[in-house]
Chain A
Amino acid sequence: MRPPGEENVRHNPLRSKAILSDLAGPDAPLGRRSFLTLGAALTGSLAIGGKPALADPAQGSPPADAPWSQSIGAGVVDRPYGRPADTEASVIRRNVPWLTASMESSVSFSPLQDLHGIITPNGLFFERHHAGRPDVDPAQHKLMIHGLVERPLLLTMKDILRFPSISRIHFIECPANGGMNWRAAQMNSLQFSHGMVSCAEWTGVRLSTLLEEVGVKKEAKWAMVEGADGAHMNRSLPLDKCLDDCLVVYAQNGEALRPEQGYPLRLVVPGWEGNVNIKWLRRIKLGDKPWHSREETSKYTDLMPDGTSRGFTWLIDAKSVITFPCPEKPLDGPGLYEIRGLAWTGNGKVKRVDVSMDGGINWQTARLHEPVLSKALTRFSLPWRWDGRPALVASRVIDETGYVQPTIVELRKQRGSNSVYHNNSIQTWQVKPDGSVFNVQLA
């Protein structure tokens, strides 16, 4: 039996042995003997009290020394690639099982409620596949550029890496992001209502550089871009956009593209709907007319209340959402909080974000965090002293063209509720007195 109170105040058995300085000294290399001593000491330490190390929340509190302060940690390259802390295991992409017919033609949502800043970690970037995620061999992958060009080219990954490189930070958003909320508030979740947007630093070569290399014939007005996946997903793009700011990229946040983001090569079409950002890019063909592929006729067209449809609606209009508080991150009692959120626009830069706590009666302008980049996620925040009463919090972005994010009522007035895509309406979160948060729509 140990004396009362001693469980919480642990004495480090290693401390008196000055083991770290011994290990560091030239006369005491890290030999088998040191490991044995260390192992015995650690075992003894963990056995105190007979409880798991983290079972007692007071263990890490002053004046006690936390268990992880009383031992030596794992060595370098213990995890050669690295991974998040074990306690972050719930920060993952998720799907909606009832939404799609199969996991191969489906979507996963980024956990925006757990993310900070503007860059989406590569393992959490949202996914949308039409024929699953192919595992492409970069040694065999090739990009063909042909059609109305002077000099059709077949490029290997090695060839593409030799062209002048460029890095840009851009968001990609699936135009169906928020599509489940067209008709009514359905998903009580930030992840499922807004998680089909992510943002990364992309590195590659300007598409204009490649098109100059093949020589564009003057009759060319459109490009057909196609993937190497099982669906050979393809879209038409106006040549002007291709020459303006499109990128053919091989890297994402400093490392090679992830397979689910198009490894080894994808197209990035800044500010335009995710579907045109072709992954596993294998072919670019120039022509004089658009192709009207399945993905730009049967899908990715916006059905209006009068039965007509809008096609080639590529632009992502300005949109914002509050990421804290949100259904997954309720408030913990009255007090001072920082409201946090994300804003973005395919039209360039975010100019301003306003936040309302009363369902749109009054608005305050939030602080935009640097950097504010064109066609990238922009972080905003605003301090808020919550008095514990019911609140309706919402954000509204204004982009550099002066366009103001609309309400869902304004959008429905123009487009009805069957258009699936391009729901960029203001998101309202209802905060209840107990701090819980719900996805609502206002009349």
Chain B
Amino acid sequence: MYSSRKIYLPIVAIVLAGGSLAGAAEPGSFGYGRVATPAQIAGWDIDVRGEDGAGLPPGKGTVDRGADVYAEQCAACHGTFGEGEGRFPKLVGGVGSLRDERPEPTVGSYWPFAPTLWDYINRAMPMPAPHTLSADDVYALTAYILNLNDLVPQEFVADRNSLPKVKMRNRDNFIWTDPRPDTMAKPCMNDCVNAADVSISSTAEGRNLTPRTTGPLDTMQPK
């Protein structure tokens, strides 16, 4: 039989070793992995900053060229003029609608920064074949969509210098610090409201919005 003392000693040693590792602060002290080379970084370093366009690559694109690329790559989902097909997002319109009962947030009415549009097309579009467009074509699409929204003229040429200068309509209407908590409810326990004041303002009963089955594997039954 081992004595309990013999068992405990190695555990203490492990804890001490772990403690010294966790306290490591010098870069590379574990030494795992490889230092990323400039070529490796360049391959993945695709991000573009919205506010100043930092990261936009060389290249350029016109509104006219953008119209051609758009018709081929985008119109099927987003509509010929950016009006959106089905529930795919509208890209155009909604200006002045943000205080309405049914606001329409689009590139023209809502997006605060034009370089974000370049970044998003480049990183995610077209949805079935992302990362297949050239930088020039992404510039051209950006120019075309900005032009559809009357944010740039027909002769606009999008490039790394011109895009950050496009003034977006909603740019100054974002608050980038979270004001919450913005409710100050108190946890009342008894007689918190008059019984006569308790009333139902809306019910999901009978609205017929709740899915009852979502596929052949789903045995969920209507109530």
Contacts and interface: CB of A to CB of B under 8 A. Distances in A.
Interface of A: 89-90, 92, 94-102, 104-105, 130-131, 144-146, 149-156, 159-160, 162-164, 180, 184-189, 192, 209, 212-215, 224, 226, 230-234, 282-283, 285, 287, 289-294, 297-298, 301, 303, 305-315, 317, 327, 330, 352, 354, 358-364, 392, 396, 398, 403-407, 410-411, 414-415, 418, 422, 430, 436, 438-443
Nearest to B209: A186
B130 A230 contact: yes
Given A292-B112, A360-B193, A144 B40 contact: yes
Contacts of A289: 49, 51-52
A282 B194 CA distance: 56
Interface stretch (B64-72, B146-154, B213-221): B213-221
Interface string B1-43: 0000000000000000010011011111110111110001100
30 contacts: A89-B217, A89-B219, A90-B218, A97-B211, A144-B41, A153-B36, A159-B32, A164-B22, A180-B209, A184-B202, A212-B24, A213-B24, A231-B123, A231-B127, A285-B45, A297-B111, A297-B116, A298-B110, A298-B116, A298-B120, A309-B170, A311-B174, A312-B177, A313-B180, A396-B185, A404-B183, A418-B103, A430-B200, A441-B201, A441-B203
Interface string B79-109: 0000000111100000000110001010100
Contacts of B174: 297, 301, 308-311
A42 B159 CA distance: 77
Given A92-B217, A187-B210, A213-B29, 15 more contacts: A95-B214, A97-B214, A146-B41, A153-B36, A160-B32, A186-B204, A187-B204, A188-B207, A283-B44, A291-B48, A292-B113, A307-B173, A354-B189, A359-B193, A363-B190
Decide if the interface of chain B is mainly helix, strand, loop or mixed: loop
- With most chain B CB atoms within 10 A of its CB, the pick from A90, A311, A361, A422 is A361
A192 B18 CA distance: 45
A442 B26 CA distance: 57
Interface string B112-130: 1100110110011001001
B118 to A, nearest CB: 10
B209 A187 contact: yes
A440 B203 contact: yes
Given A224-B47, A354-B189, A155 B200 contact: no
B30 A213 contact: yes
A362 B33 contact: no
A290 B115 CA distance: 13
Contact of A153 (B34, B188, B207, B211): B34
Contacts of A327: 204, 210, 223
Contacts of B111: 297-298
Decide if the interface of chain A is mainly helix, strand, loop or mixed: loop
Contacts of A185: 202-204, 207
A94 B211 contact: yes
B187 interface: yes
B184 to A, nearest CB: 8
Contacts of A92: 217-218
B166 interface: no
- With most chain A CB atoms within 10 A of its CB, the pick from B44, B111, B223 is B44
Interface string B164-204: 00000010011111111111111111111111011111111
A293 B116 contact: yes
A330 B203 CA distance: 16
Contact of A96 (B188, B192, B197, B211): B211
A282 B44 contact: yes
B114 to A, nearest CB: 11
B155 interface: no
Given A104-B127, A438-B203, A443-B199, A212 B211 contact: no
A422 B180 CA distance: 11
A410 B185 CA distance: 8
A146 B36 contact: yes
B77 interface: yes
Contacts of B51: 289, 292
A160 B51 CA distance: 33
A96 B88 CA distance: 15
B210 A189 contact: yes
Given A97-B211, A392-B198, A154 B40 contact: yes
Contacts of B116: 292-294, 297-298
A410 B183 contact: yes
Nearest to A228: B44
A414 B90 CA distance: 28
A188 B204 CA distance: 5
A9 B218 CA distance: 35
Given A185-B204, A436-B223, A214 B27 contact: yes
A360 B196 CA distance: 12
Given A291-B47, A297-B112, A404-B187, A94 B88 contact: no
Given A184-B202, A313-B178, A131 B188 contact: no
Contacts of A305: 99
A361 to B, nearest CB: 6
Contacts of A102: 88, 127
